[in-house]
Structure 1
């Protein structure tokens, strides 16, 4: 249910951000990802509703995802924050609601039933988690009635967590990779540059194709039409096995967003 390429929207703001969302949907994106902490849910919602009003896309064809920030996980704040997100996005129901990070007031026994409740009440259609470990995922599955449909995590050629992919395969949920271009570092990685030259594409396309080869969805951020189009097209790029292995062999690790 999670489209393979989504639009990451962290940093998109104002009229330019709204138009980037409209352009993405016009080009064929069907997955929009935002978060309470980004402060741009209203911008994303405005872009979505503009695109729907212009007849560029049917609302039911777009997966709209947002994330509850740690400050809003407390029981006395959670539902209100979800209602606020829904109103800012301008949707009847949030398609996919993530728990952004398992920290702060997060407690599986008290927090996760709150997610079930907003699903039961029709405010949210599906539940996901973000930045969890394998053990934390197991605990969440045990506490949630609603299935976990996606786990969003940092994943790129400089930060790999195969155990998370194995857990997703074992339990039937999607892994959504954020920061797929490693904050632009993929443009300076020789193995990726060489593979890009082989296929006549950008290093960004190779990094996205590498993630797709591992079965992940991904949400690269872009605002220009050129980059939006090329990121979306990267979903159709199939790397040879030797090229996937060449990228796998990069002996360097950089986590951009540690706890």
Structure 2
């Protein structure tokens, strides 16, 4: 449990009182009129958080930055939602109709470029959230939702019969979609019955997403350049196997998360 002082301003501290150089601390009362130190390239002011049980009487007690006010302004609910990472995720979702239109109008080079950009945003949003210390509840929902929408849409569109190239096998698309539906329905049922909602992706789940992104990339490239199409069946079976294994593994993964939650509850 932590106590947050939303009006506190970070001052740069020196050494002493067992603190490391550059640590953040609350200034003594007779120095609180001093101007704050702008200590980040973003010119940000930090809201301070002190964990319960720390000594508050000591003016040299070390505090840690809990939340950021971009540009030195008090953060609002909207700025906390529209973080840079979440905006990147929304861009990925906005690229989905562009990708579908490119495939529909047989502009496969454009579709490949859009797909690669969308895949890079999948890596970028998580990286930005960690580097800028901007994890949000909205982001934990948007990111996997954008991934699923992008992948499911791509598999559906590219598995439709077309005169210009052989599509992705429909049985593979069925397995990919069924796995995601199985996990989503299971998560909803667990939430309804237990109230638990702190689901996290497993390593196999991340691998599954990476393999599917790679398959779509290779599929589009082979259809554009008309080369190496003989390797596609092997990728189909690899994607199928990873989807099945990650789906089964997620049952045990979700069970472990639920058990950990019950232990700490």
| TM-score (normalised: structure 2) | 0.22
Please tell me whether Structure 1 or Structure 2 has the larger radius of gyration of its CA atoms: 2
> Which structure has the highest strand share of the two?
1
Higher relative contact order, chain-length normalized (CA < 8 Å, sep 6+): 1
- Structure 1 or 2: larger helix share? 2
